[in-house]
Structure 1
Amino acid sequence: MAFEFERKQRIAILGGGPGGYEAALAAAQLGAEVTLIERSGVGGSAVLTDVVPSKTLIATAEFTSTLERSDELGVQYFVKGDDGKARKPEVSINLATVNKRLLGLAHDTSEDMQKALKKAGVNFIPGHGRLDGTHAVIAATGPGGTDFDRIEADTIIVSVGASPRVLDTAKPDGERILTWTQLYNLTELPEHMIVVGSGVTGAEFASAYSSLGSKVTLVSSRDTVLPGEDADAAAVLEEVFIRRGMTLMSKARMEKVERTDTGVKVTLADGQTIDGSHCLIAVGSIPNTAGLGLEEAGVELDDAGRIVVNRVARTSVPNIYGVGDCSAALPLASVAMMQGRTAAFHALGDAVTPFDERNVAANIFTQPEVASVGWSQAEIESGIIR
């Protein structure tokens, strides 16, 4: 007697960041045949150049601040000088060692995640992926991406993340003019770090480098630091920044950033110039959706190039899902992970709870930290809530 066995559902995932990783594990656990294509390493930019290394750097900065005010906490430490008398040692930062450690942690995390995928039975392909219609993806592998594999799929989940926005008037060189992904190449603590952009990324790194001992100037085109957050929290953060010696320049739009013989020069729209040793450009991010064949497949994108999705991460094409920073959802690793699991469960017919951004708790890792959940005061006062 012959038996017919139902074929496994085939799921192809473009991008192995938090969203793609969680989607792959969830789909594999439900018995699907899963292929994940990732160009830089499992964990994507979140693990390799963003969340893991940045939060490790921030934790080091917080530890430095604690050491410097240990007397206030009742903790004192001394060393003996040549004269035999006790003296308090100075706190110094070896940035090369700091960056080596955090990049090592990022690499180890990525390796652990890849092992977890292998254990779950996920087929991992290192390379560049793109759509080939609505039911297949192309993986470009080998030297220079010259080898191609075509993988047919019942469901496609796109989780390709986003990259730092680059301006023509402030092109990063990886040495003095930097994006947040390039900071970890520095071997010496910047003497004067100019941070352009006062959103979450700009505020976090400004806070961290100030605590590490750099002179910091924060250039904001808006009225306040963290313009999208609670006004009272932003005001407290500004007060602390100024008290710790940071220079804040509000309503100051950057015109251009240039290399000089000794560092960088930032020119503002009103003609003012700021000289520093380094400049961090933190003016937002761009979704990595170009050249993926999304529009050819009928997937709707918004004006910023982000994938338009519904509350279960589904796109305008029923069998294609978009998760993480490449979608129009909140740009948080936790949201990407939740979207990835939701997309996999929904595609395979399991029960899901639609996404509600008002239930998302978010944290900004400045000193002091800023946490939020639910409706903001500004939204309430504007009359959005009835």
Structure 2
Amino acid sequence: MSTPTQDTDRSRAPRVVVVGGGPGGYEAALVARRLGADVTVVERAGLGGAAVLTDVVPSKTLIATAEWMTIADRAPELGIRLDGITAPGSIAESGVGSLVRHSIDLAAVNARVKALAAAQSADIRARLDREGVRTVLGHGRLDGPSRVVVTTADGDEQVLDADVVLVSTGATPRVLPEAVPDGERILTWTQLYDLQELPEKLVVVGSGVTGAEFAGAYTSLGADVTLVSSRDRVLPGEDADAAQLLEDVFKARGMTVLSRSRAAGARRVGDRVEVSLADGRVIEASHVLFAVGSIPTTAGLGLEEAGVRLTPSGHVEVDKVSRTSVRGVYAAGDVTGVFPLASVAATQGRIAMSHALGDAVKPLSVRGVSANIFTAPEIATVGSTEARLTELGVHYTVSTLPLARNPRAKMLGVRDGFVKIFAAEGTGTILGAVVVGPRASESIFPLTLAVTHRLTADQVADASTVYPSMSGTIGEVARMLHRSAD
């Protein structure tokens, strides 16, 4: 197909076609509509994309269920008796030490997980409909920089002309040739929600964020979990103190962590699997989950044919306002490889439409982006890591306090966690922070504000905190960073 000549009628609303209905796509669509554009979203799986249907929403729903189990473990020390509960799937007192045995109806858990994901997708679809955004279900590909061809499930094609195209197609789980998923015993994280029974023995390959989250969740749900890490510790890219604390908690809960162990493959043997390691060891299990990264969904989109440059890793190359190498074509989200977070994808999408449609725009800055690992305890971070500050030769001071000293934490039976803040020497400007503990994803916000607006530790310390509260430790750590004037 040839590229159509652009319509020069300035009275016509600009035509925006968004390929991919995840956070980057649907947030971009809403901004484009507010700015008066004619907007169509092309989505193959369903509104919300992988973030809603197979990734963020389902995984965090599962993890939230598992979190109730870790809370229940603290019941005896709080003086709560759990005997006499006989409802199916309920928690029953084991009588073994202070541990509480759990009974999980995984089929019911996963049914709820998928129902919530579908409901969230429907809510997004309804919002776009209310705002006047058209939705086309099918596979979209570029035919030049100003035309998108959509192939529907029944094979029909629809051609959409566009003044602006946004590509927000996300990423898919990386698959090892030696461990091709079968959806039953050898799994990617998108396939876990079809399990009807809790795995008897689950091997999780990969100790990054996804691997750690699922390994922790299934341990809490009652599965026998072995985590295979090719590095010397779990979460190798995260704060070393936080990663070590989490690994210690994992082991205390009964998880087996195999450090410096690289998986070479997996094969199914009847109703079991054998996971082979590079050193020749073989682990037998009922299921194996491979969480070994993801690859950008750029194949088959016509990007390179349209002149869009890709990075060596296959991601779409973009600048700070989400422009690609082709005028009028933008990209947002995991497909760009900028920062694999739904919040960043949404920001990129909003920036792209504001720039494309002539609204005021502030280029993307990831300096103040906060991230969270939904383990138990959670690990939330913002700003520079300690490793990065050391690498850059930045002169900084650091202050840390364990949550075990916090009165609110004592009341709740919380022992594991800490608050750590990095501040520039001399000025006291907060450069980064780590919060480890229950709901760290909520507690990191004031420190995100501090990093974003370059507040000093003294300014944070001056703000009042509720007593007793977990956030009180943030204020206390900030006060510890105060240096009297010379």
Pick the TM interval, shorter chain.
over 0.9
Using the TM superposition, give the Cα deviation of residue 384 of structure 1 relative to its aligned residue in structure 2, in angstroms.
Answer: 6.4
Counterpart pick for 2:146 among 135, 146, 151? 135
Using the TM superposition, give the Cα deviation of residue 142 of structure 1 relative to its aligned residue in structure 2, in angstroms.
Answer: 4.3
Q: What is residue 243 of structure 2 aligned with on the other side?
A: 234
- Give the direction of change, closer, same or farther, for the CA distance of 1:56–1:296 in structure 2 (3 Å limit): same
Q: Which residue identity lines up with residue 290 of structure 2 in the other structure?
A: I
* Aligned-partner Cα distance in 2 for 1:98–1:254: 29
Q: What is residue 15 of structure 2 aligned with on the other side?
A: 10
Q: Does 1:221 align with 2:226?
A: no
Q: Is the 8 A contact 2:142 2:306 kept in 1?
A: yes
Q: Is the 8 A contact 2:178 2:266 kept in 1?
A: yes
* Aligned-partner Cα distance in 2 for 1:91–1:266: 27
User: After superposition, what is the alpha-carbon deviation per residue over 1:342-362, rounded to whole angstroms, capped at 9, x for unaligned?
Assistant: 111111111111111111000
- Give the direction of change, closer, same or farther, for the CA distance of 1:338–1:367 in structure 2 (3 Å limit): same
User: After superposition, what is the alpha-carbon deviation per residue over 1:338-379, rounded to whole angstroms, capped at 9, x for unaligned?
Assistant: 111111111111111111111100000011111111111111
Q: What is residue 70 of structure 1 aligned with on the other side?
A: 75
Q: Is the 8 A contact 2:149 2:157 kept in 1?
A: yes
Q: Which residue identity lines up with residue 116 of structure 2 in the other structure?
A: L
Q: Does 1:261 align with 2:266?
A: no
Q: Which residue identity lines up with residue 214 of structure 2 in the other structure?
A: F
Q: What is residue 29 of structure 1 aligned with on the other side?
A: 34
- Give the direction of change, closer, same or farther, for the CA distance of 1:336–1:77 in structure 2 (3 Å limit): same
Q: What is residue 47 of structure 1 aligned with on the other side?
A: 52
Counterpart pick for 1:348 among 339, 343, 357? 357
Q: What is residue 92 of structure 1 aligned with on the other side?
A: 103
For 1:125, what is the secondary structure of its paired residue?
strand
Using the TM superposition, give the Cα deviation of residue 288 of structure 1 relative to its aligned residue in structure 2, in angstroms.
Answer: 0.6
Q: Does 1:211 align with 2:220?
A: yes
User: After superposition, what is the alpha-carbon deviation per residue over 1:232-289, rounded to whole angstroms, capped at 9, x for unaligned?
Assistant: 1111111111111111111111111011234111111110111111000000001110
Q: Which residue identity lines up with residue 11 of structure 1 in the other structure?
A: V
Using the TM superposition, give the Cα deviation of residue 312 of structure 1 relative to its aligned residue in structure 2, in angstroms.
Answer: 1.0
Give TM-score scaled by structure 2 length: 0.75
Using the TM superposition, give the Cα deviation of residue 91 of structure 1 relative to its aligned residue in structure 2, in angstroms.
Answer: 2.7
Percent identity between matched residues is 57
* Aligned-partner Cα distance in 2 for 1:131–1:73: 60
For 1:133, what is the secondary structure of its paired residue?
coil
* Aligned-partner Cα distance in 2 for 1:218–1:293: 39
* Aligned-partner Cα distance in 1 for 2:221–2:205: 18
Counterpart pick for 2:327 among 318, 326, 347? 318
* Aligned-partner Cα distance in 2 for 1:68–1:41: 38
Give TM-score scaled by structure 1 length: 0.95
Q: What is residue 457 of structure 2 aligned with on the other side?
A: none
In structure 1, stretches of 5+ residues that fail to align are 82-86
In structure 2, stretches of 5+ residues that fail to align are 1-8, 87-91, 95-100, 396-486
Cα RMSD between the aligned structures?
1.5
Q: Does 1:244 align with 2:249?
A: no
User: After superposition, what is the alpha-carbon deviation per residue over 1:164-183, rounded to whole angstroms, capped at 9, x for unaligned?
Assistant: 00111001000000000000
Q: What is residue 84 of structure 1 aligned with on the other side?
A: none
Q: Is the 8 A contact 2:102 2:222 kept in 1?
A: no
* Aligned-partner Cα distance in 2 for 1:77–1:69: 11
* Aligned-partner Cα distance in 1 for 2:119–2:359: 33
* Aligned-partner Cα distance in 1 for 2:70–2:239: 25
User: After superposition, what is the alpha-carbon deviation per residue over 1:119-158, rounded to whole angstroms, capped at 9, x for unaligned?
Assistant: 1111100000000101111011141xx2111111111000
User: After superposition, what is the alpha-carbon deviation per residue over 1:308-327, rounded to whole angstroms, capped at 9, x for unaligned?
Assistant: 11111111112111100100
Q: Is the 8 A contact 1:156 1:320 kept in 2?
A: yes
* Aligned-partner Cα distance in 2 for 1:78–1:46: 39
* Aligned-partner Cα distance in 1 for 2:253–2:221: 12
Q: Which residue identity lines up with residue 65 of structure 2 in the other structure?
A: T
Counterpart pick for 1:105 among 102, 116, 136? 116
Counterpart pick for 1:151 among 151, 160, 180? 160
- Give the direction of change, closer, same or farther, for the CA distance of 1:381–1:5 in structure 2 (3 Å limit): closer
Deviates more, 1:280-289 or 1:350-359: 350-359
* Aligned-partner Cα distance in 1 for 2:140–2:247: 43
For 2:383, what is the secondary structure of its paired residue?
coil
* Aligned-partner Cα distance in 2 for 1:97–1:226: 30
Using the TM superposition, give the Cα deviation of residue 68 of structure 1 relative to its aligned residue in structure 2, in angstroms.
Answer: 2.8
Q: Which residue identity lines up with residue 369 of structure 2 in the other structure?
A: V
* Aligned-partner Cα distance in 2 for 1:57–1:329: 27
- Give the direction of change, closer, same or farther, for the CA distance of 1:256–1:239 in structure 2 (3 Å limit): same
Q: Is the 8 A contact 1:68 1:91 kept in 2?
A: no
* Aligned-partner Cα distance in 2 for 1:283–1:142: 30
Q: What is residue 300 of structure 2 aligned with on the other side?
A: 291
Q: Which stretches of structure 1, 4 residues or longer, exceed 3 Å deviation after superposition?
A: 87-90
Q: Which residue identity lines up with residue 150 of structure 1 in the other structure?
A: V
Using the TM superposition, give the Cα deviation of residue 6 of structure 1 relative to its aligned residue in structure 2, in angstroms.
Answer: 1.2
Q: Which residue identity lines up with residue 222 of structure 2 in the other structure?
A: G
Deviates more, 1:226-235 or 1:94-103: 226-235
Higher-RCO chain (CA-CA 8 Å, sequence separation at least 6): 1
